């Protein structure tokens, strides 16, 4: 039973039509995003489903998932929301490293760790192409990414509270 | 500047709406091309304009288009929106605020090389921009500007977005193609070049977002007009992404040939607390680091002039470094970026960035050691000219130039 195809057949078709019929594997990345949309992670069932749709082996699909940093395997854990803070050099010149340290301290975790309620993981990431708005972060979760420019510790903590209030954040 | 040409939303805020874009001349160039011009005419105009690629390499765009063989079909055009170089954030603003001008440029490029499908490869972090671009593409289909029988002609044209998922290497054009094909984003051996065997092994043009955004202007106003802007070697305007130790970081659209001093002092408002500028990185993290002396500050920012003082203009991502910054720490950060983003395919880059990251971490500590500094230089020089793609080479630029120009920061007396 191909759950992905069953649950999102129209979207799978919309993805496949973008690529030549003889190059179905080109759909693997959009399908991984689709599989990740609901829970924020990709499980072995989804890998097998994508393999079946694209004609790849499950191992090939898993290797694509592992190569790209925005895909998250089920076993990798992490919170429902990932707050990703850029600390690359241009952002660091504008205080991003101090921001990340203070933000994490206020949350009582280290970069890379998840809050005790299991909801939020704070990650230190590479350039997000917004060096003029440092400290800059993005939130990955709910199958989407949202940008938050010009952050302070206060604004980032307020964002955390907003995420915690989301109705689906509670299961 | 009297009129914005690329960042037109700064003059016309609602230009990201199709109706507003068309009211302001949008898609007139595309319609003219479709109904009055031959593909070769568009190619000739772009060639004559002297437009050079804005992604970093500065290669003449029209020449690139002319490499596609007429014997192998179909042709593809791919827009590179994988903007990931630390210090670069110009394509983000174009895509977010002036998307239709970019799309019109892509559509003109497709017309010029007779491609019926164009792809936009966006970095995964541009997820919100991709949603926006998909809506724009849908509107163009509904308006009859994309699809079958575009504007009632025999031309069929489709544009699709393809979202990356977090890999700097996919900005390298052959890695980008691999990524669209559903593979690991790792560079290909060349030859064959993408112009002959690119996406799905077919002839492919790959252009940066900013490059394509220039094309509608060239077709609408002519190559001669375009050449009145900028310098002879680098015609047109450029979006300079200014970041680092400046009061007003941001994108500045200025003619090629504007000096570093004008950009940093007049537009960027100088450094915080008026500190002295120690160094400039004109091409993002991949830059050769320039000492910010009077000669550098008064150098015009065009490809030729920056090369003449031993640097590269690249994508014109100007990072300002003031005298509070320790260069060993700065280099440690750039190397750490490249270590993280190395795709692992070729040994010099995979191993070299790993060791450079370890050595620079020690050098950035309390007691930098001249022996470590010598070892760092040795590793970097051994990598040069041995990597599969340019990105491996880029990881050594800041290292070698900082060691040479700021030895005191590395414990070398």
Give B306-327 pLDDT, tens digit per residue: 999 999 999 999 999 999 999 9
Q: Do A26 and B180 touch (CB under 8 A)?
A: yes
Residues A16 and A37 both lie in one domain:
yes
Query: Could you tell me if B251 and B146 lie in one domain?
Result: no
Residues A67 and A107 in one domain: no
Give percent above pLDDT 70 in chain B: 100
Is residue B18 domain-shared with residue B143, that is, in the same domain? Answer: yes
User: What range does the domain containing A64 cover?
Assistant: 3-74
Give the per-residue pLDDT at B327.
96
* Residue whose C-alpha is closest to residue B379's, from B398, B356, B402: B356
Mutation target to probe the B interface, by most B beta carbons within 10 A, among A50, A127, A137, A142 is A127
Tokens of A77: 């854990």
> How many Å lie between the alpha carbon of A160 and the closest alpha carbon of chain B?
20
Does residue B232 belong to any structural domain of this protein?
Answer: no
In this predicted structure, the answer to whether residue B204 has a pLDDT above a threshold of 50 is: yes
Q: How far apart are CA B159 and CA B130, in angstroms?
A: 12
Residues A110 and A135 reside in one and the same domain: yes
- Does B67 lie at the interface with A, CB-CB under 8 angstroms? no
The runs of H, that is alpha helices, within B164-262 are: 173-180, 209-221, 223-227, 260-261
Is residue A143 over pLDDT 90?
no
The domain in which residue B394 lies consists of: 327-410
Domains of chain B: total: 3
Angle between helices B390-405 and B327-341 (to 10 degrees): 170
Name the domain boundary from B227, B246, B278: B227
Please indicate if any CB of chain A lies within 8 Å of the CB of B268: no
Q: Identify the CATH number of the domain in which residue B110 sits.
A: 3.40.50.11540
Q: How many distinct structural domains can be found in chain A?
A: 2
Would you state the pLDDT for residue B166? 93
* Cβ(B320)–Cβ(B244) below 8 Å: yes
Residue A115 and residue A164 in one domain: yes
Q: B201 to chain A: nearest residue by CA?
A: A23
Q: How confident is the model at residue A169 (pLDDT cuts 50, 70, 90)?
A: low
What is the pLDDT at residue B274?
A: 94
Residues in chain A within 8 Å Cβ distance of B184: 63-64, 67
Task: Provide the token pair at B9.
Answer: 């939303």
Distances (CA, A) of B48 to A29, A35, A67, B42: 39, 47, 42, 10
Nearest to B216 by CA among B5, B35, B47: B5
Note the pLDDT tens digit of each residue in A64-96: 999 999 999 999 888 989 999 999 999 999 999
Domain annotation covers residue B312: yes
Among the candidates A74, A99, A133, a domain finishes at A74
Asked whether residue B126 falls in the same domain as residue B39, the answer is yes
CATH of residue B360's domain is 1.20.1440.230
Taking the C-alpha atoms of residue B326 and residue B324, their distance in angstroms, rounded to an integer, is: 7
- CA-based nearest residue to B125, from A94, A135, A168, A68: A68
Summarised one tens digit per residue, pLDDT across range A89-137 is 999 999 999 999 999 999 999 999 999 999 999 999 999 999 999 999 9
* pLDDT tens per residue, range A11-46: 999 999 999 999 999 999 999 999 998 888 999 999
Q: Do residue A111 and residue A49 come from a single domain?
A: no
Residue B130 in domain: yes
pTM for this one?
0.96
Query: Is residue B243 less than 8 Å (CB to CB) from chain A?
Result: yes
Q: Domain end: B322, B338, B354, which one?
A: B322
Examine the domain organization and report whether B12 and B77 are in the same domain: yes
pLDDT per residue over B170-180, tens digit each?
A: 999 999 999 99
Between CA A111 and CA A123 the distance in angstroms is 5
How many CB atoms lie under 10 A from the CB of residue A149?
14
CA angle A44, A50, A55 (to 5 degrees): 125
Partners of B115 on chain A (C-beta within 8 Å) are none
Task: Let me know whether B193 and B255 are in one domain.
Answer: no
Best of A53, A90, A97 to disrupt the B interface (most B CBs within 10 Å) is A90
Q: Do B160 and A18 touch (CB under 8 A)?
A: yes
Model pLDDT for residues B248-303, shown as the tens digit of each residue: 999 999 999 999 999 999 999 999 999 999 999 999 999 999 999 999 999 999 99
């Amino acid at each position: 039973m191909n759950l992905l195809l069953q649950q999102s057949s129209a979207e799978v078709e919309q993805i496949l039509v973008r690529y030549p019929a003889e190059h179905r594997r080109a759909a693997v990345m959009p399908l991984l995003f689709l599989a990740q949309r609901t829970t924020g992670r990709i499980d072995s069932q989804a890998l097998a489903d994508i393999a079946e749709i694209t004609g790849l082996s499950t191992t090939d699909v898993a290797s694509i998932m592992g190569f790209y940093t925005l895909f998250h395997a089920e076993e990798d854990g992490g919170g429902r929301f990932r707050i990703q803070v850029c600390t690359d050099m241009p952002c660091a010149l504008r205080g991003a490293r101090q921001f990340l340290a203070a933000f994490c301290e206020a949350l009582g975790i280290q970069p890379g760790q998840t809050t005790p309620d299991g909801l939020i993981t704070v990650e230190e990431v590479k350039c997000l192409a917004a060096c003029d708005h440092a400290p800059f972060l993005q939130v990955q979760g709910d199958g989407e990414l949202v940008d938050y420019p010009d952050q302070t510790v206060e604004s980032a903590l307020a964002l955390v509270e907003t995420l915690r209030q989301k109705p689906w954040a509670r299961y | 500047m009297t009129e914005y040409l690329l960042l037109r939303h700064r003059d016309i805020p609602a230009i990201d709406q199709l109706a507003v874009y068309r009211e302001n001349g949008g898609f007139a160039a595309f319609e003219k091309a479709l109904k009055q011009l031959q593909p070769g005419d568009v190619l000739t105009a772009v060639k004559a304009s002297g437009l050079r690629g804005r992604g970093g390499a500065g290669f003449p765009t029209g020449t690139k288009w002319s490499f596609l063989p007429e014997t192998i079909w179909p042709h593809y055009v791919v827009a590179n929106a994988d903007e990931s170089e630390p210090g670069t954030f110009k394509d983000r603003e174009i895509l977010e605020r002036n998307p239709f001008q970019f799309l019109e440029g892509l559509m003109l490029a497709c017309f010029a090389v007779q491609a019926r499908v164009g792809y936009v490869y966006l970095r995964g972090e541009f997820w919100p921009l991709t949603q926006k671009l998909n809506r724009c593409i849908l509107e163009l289909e509904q308006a009859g500007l994309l699809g079958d029988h575009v504007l009632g002609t025999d031309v069929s044209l489709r544009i699709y977005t393809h979202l990356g998922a977090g890999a700097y290497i996919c900005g390298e054009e052959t890695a980008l193609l691999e990524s669209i094909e559903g593979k690991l984003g790792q560079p290909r051996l060349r030859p064959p070049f993408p112009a002959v065997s690119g996406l799905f092994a077919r002839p492919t043009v790959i252009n940066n977002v900013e490059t394509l955004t220039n094309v509608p202007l060239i077709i609408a106003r002519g190559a001669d007009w375009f050449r009145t802007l900028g310098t002879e070697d680098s015609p047109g305007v450029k979006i300079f992404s200014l970041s680092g130790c400046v009061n007003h970081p941001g994108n500045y659209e200025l003619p090629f040939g504007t000096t570093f001093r004008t950009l940093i002092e007049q537009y960027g408002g100088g450094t915080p607390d008026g500190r002295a500028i120690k160094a400039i990185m004109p091409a993002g993290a991949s830059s050769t680091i320039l000492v910010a002396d009077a000669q550098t500050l008064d150098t015009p920012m065009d490809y030729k002039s920056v090369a003449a003082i031993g640097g590269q203009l690249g994508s014109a991502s100007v990072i300002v470094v003031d005298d509070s910054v320790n260069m060993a720490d700065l280099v440690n950060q750039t190397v750490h970026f490249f270590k993280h983003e190395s795709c692992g395919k070729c040994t010099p880059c995979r191993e070299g960035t790993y060791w450079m990251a370890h050595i620079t971490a020690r050098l950035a500590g309390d007691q930098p050691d001249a022996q470590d500094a010598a070892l760092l230089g040795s590793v970097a020089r051994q990598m040069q000219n041995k990597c599969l793609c340019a990105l491996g080479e880029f990881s050594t630029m800041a290292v070698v130039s900082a060691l040479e120009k700021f030895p005191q920061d590395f414990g070398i007396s």
